[in-house]
Structure 1
């Protein structure tokens, strides 16, 4: 059956996941841009209005940001284990609803804090809530798409992350300028409540959606080897640690997620404070560079997802198609090390854009890989384990960056991380065979 002769309802579900990921990233990104606002810096450091920020204050602020971001990443890691398990048991509709509600409340709470301790608490709660997005999205795509379309669908969903960063970079400076930094958290946190209403109104499993045609349902369920794999039996996540396939996903997440988290958290500070550039950015000028970086990232997410799907439609095995694409992503990430050494701000932006595009392409493919090597009933739990590993590495990198001068060591690692991750995948699943659960 050709995908062009059936309905397109499943792509509405991808659109919903895209916007969920967009809002998820808006809520987590607000802090990264607010941190370069002088009034926010004074409030969090407990300094009086009119105090001139010194080099010592900058170092203290950087260390505090390291602790604050580590709290988010630790909670994110912990939340991934619980939320993935929770979603596999109660289903994506209920599980994702809980996640959206929790991260929206946490986002608003950021605007009510007065010191770093309160910010750490709000950030921890946000990490727990936001950990539900990707396990729920991956499970939803596994439920709504045949295998040959999952990479492309995942790429579209994952592109919401970049749109979220772009929206934050453009909107937050405006909000802060007109309403103050506290309003930036309250307004963006409220978006999640609107998303929750949309999710509860429009989402359900394919067989429960009356508007779905019989032809499209048959196409969604066309993978013959998956017909009897989702038998309702629940898989304990502890048991999943015993499968090589779990580590084929978890280890790459550990090696690469920390790079992405570094970009998300520290790039505004890097552009504003780095002494290698001929010019620096501030809150009023940071929007356009981030627009460039994350539009390119979006293209990378969709392109590399499309590329794998195209390879598979040509008859390539999932093993060959995914690993070829992952290798190409690794090649694109290699030059990023020079972004920390160049004096040209524009060259640094171009190199970082290429690196983030490579990351998003890599991420889309390993997220889609979960449904290649595990049955649908374990998809959210396995994604949660991988997310936990990524959160741990992200916390470690944030603590490290907060204590060092400059950023060069992290850029050196970022240029090689994707080849390390690809090697781990190949060693764990040489033929990308499905786990027998």
Structure 2
């Protein structure tokens, strides 16, 4: 067996490492404001609704970007499209450091808007890359690995911020500048090493045959019109599943505020709780991706393997409903961590649904559609949470965690109704019988 694997080759995992690196940068950039939220709120005298509006600015741009960037990446291809996305988000990420107190809300809102638009390109490009470089039986595992980088970035943020930024906000600009240098390194590596597997001189004939072994050959590379995509129930099944993005963003943008306001955690103390939460999330991402692939290798249909794994994830997340009742901060951290682990396992399999069903040329567009729906769900939930926190103090967190814990089971039912059988679609979006 080892000889067979050695003969096949593993260059695809070098490409996966670049996806891991890009997603780490993406989430480090995205997480910084959530970690510094209590400090920035005190520095700039923001209300909870002000903070929610700044986050919503990111999400509005993310929603717009998901629709447009997905189509751009399908048109330009992953090499150029991914480079464009990371260039945009890095520039606007660094522009946060230029914001001055006199116009802090509008300044941060504009910087977050540009950041959100650029960052919207990460997942459409990464999922498209996985579809190009991995056979179906490995895609959930590959997606789980690069998706784990969302937690790596989220783990790094509180430690870097806690090390550099003082409790009074001194040096708050520096973390926003760090990702510029990291992004430059990534762009150099990506442009130098990325090509499609069929064009790559480092990919052996055996590895290429393995990559395309369970995928239909696509004759036409012409972009599919949106009207054709929107008519497919399978597209809306994925979009419904992505509503759960609002839960992940709740952990990311409000987690530090919840811990600070409920248990009195300071900026320098937030690193360890975040480490615990997102290490658990990393484990969930990799395990969730591995589990459905294991079921497929055992002979299960793709439909049964993916949906069984999603059901297990939804059940695993249910205890999050109890977080608002936790009297011990470590119990709250553990429960959020379990919820984050379940979400990441869910996310790894949801992303894979796209490449399981749709042709590669539509992958980024479908991921963009789902991401837009997830961003809209996040906009609504953030606006409501910010408003209710100002009006009803921390009791609003009870309802937030209740929804966060219970929504996955409901949404899985909707996904199954829209897509009871995961029948692959050909390049014209007709079912392959």
Shared fold (TM-score greater than 0.5)? yes
Report how far residue 314 of structure 1 moved.
0.8
The equivalent residue for 2:211 is 220
Distance 1:168 1:400, change over 3 A: same
**Counterpart in the other structure of 2:400:** 410
Query: 1:168-227: CA deviations, max 9, x gaps?
Result: 11111112139610112112343222222221122111122111111101111112x511
- Verify the 8 A CA contact 2:323 2:332 in the aligned structure 1: yes
For structure 2, list consecutive stretches of 5 or more residues without a partner in the other structure.
none
User: How big is the shift at 1:435?
Assistant: 2.8
* Number of equivalences: 414
Q: Secondary structure at the match of 1:151?
A: helix
Deviation of residue 42 (structure 1)?
A: 4.6
Corresponding residue number in structure 2 for 1:424: 414
User: Is the counterpart of residue 299 in structure 1 residue 283 in structure 2?
Assistant: yes
Q: Distance in 2 between matches of 1:179 and 1:187?
A: 16
- Which of 65, 79, 90 is the aligned partner of 1:93? 79
Q: Aligned-pair distance for 1:64?
A: 0.9
Shift of 1:230: 5.1
Q: 8 Å contact 2:242–2:373 — kept in the other structure? A: yes
Which position in structure 2 is the counterpart of 1:74? 60
Aligned to 2:182: 191
Asked whether the equivalents of residues 277 and 333 of structure 2 are also in contact (C-alpha less than 8 Å), the reply is yes
- Map 1:126-141 to 2 at 5 A: 126-141=115-130
2:148 match: secondary structure: helix
- Corresponding residue of 1:257: 245
- Tell me whether 1:241 sits opposite 2:230 in the alignment: yes
State which drifts further: 298-307 or 193-202. 193-202
In the aligned structure 2, how far is the partner of 1:365 from the partner of 1:42? 39
Displacement of 1:241: 0.9
Note the 1:193-212 alignment, pairs <5 A: 193-212=184-203
What root-mean-square deviation, in Å, do the aligned CA atoms of Structure 1 and Structure 2 show? 1.4
1:153 is aligned to 2:155: no
Q: Is the 8 A contact 2:35 2:267 kept in 1?
A: yes
Using structure 1 for the length normalisation, give the TM-score. Answer: 0.92
Measure how far apart 1:4 and its partner are.
5.3
Moved over 4 A (4+): 1-4
CA separation in 2, counterparts of 1:259 and 1:147?
27
CA distance in structure 1 between the partners assigned to 2:105 and 2:37 by the alignment: 12
Residue aligning to 2:368: 384
Compute the displacement of 1:345 (Å).
0.6
Q: Provide the TM-score with structure 2 as the length reference.
A: 0.93
Cα distance in 1 for partners of 2:381, 2:181 equals 30
Q: Is the 8 A contact 2:321 2:406 kept in 1?
A: no
Query: What stretches of structure 1 of length at least 5 have no aligned partner?
Result: 46-59
d(CA) in 1 for partners of 2:198, 2:28: 32
Q: How far is the alpha carbon of 1:3 from its aligned partner?
A: 4.3
Within 5 A, what are the aligned runs for 1:170-189? 170-177=159-166, 180-189=171-180
Structure 2 contact 70–125 (Cα < 8 Å) conserved:
yes
Q: Could you say which residue in structure 2 is the equivalent of 1:56?
A: none
Secondary structure at the residue paired with 1:307? helix
**Are 1:99 and 1:133, in contact at CA under 8 Å, matched by a contact in 2?**
yes
State the alpha-carbon separation in 2 of the partners of residues 334 and 5 from structure 1: 44
Q: Counterparts of 2:351 and 2:336 in 1: how far apart (Å)?
A: 22
Distance 1:127 1:245 in 2: 26
Alignment partners' CA distance in 1, 2:145 and 2:278? 14
Distance 1:280 1:41 in 2: 15
Separation (CA, whole Å) in 2 of partners of 1:193 and 1:388 = 27
Report which stretch shifted further, 332-341 or 179-188: 179-188
Distance 1:216 1:335, change over 3 A: same
Between the aligned partners of 1:213 and 1:179, the Cα distance in structure 2 is: 53
C-alpha separation in 1, matches of 2:321 and 2:192: 46
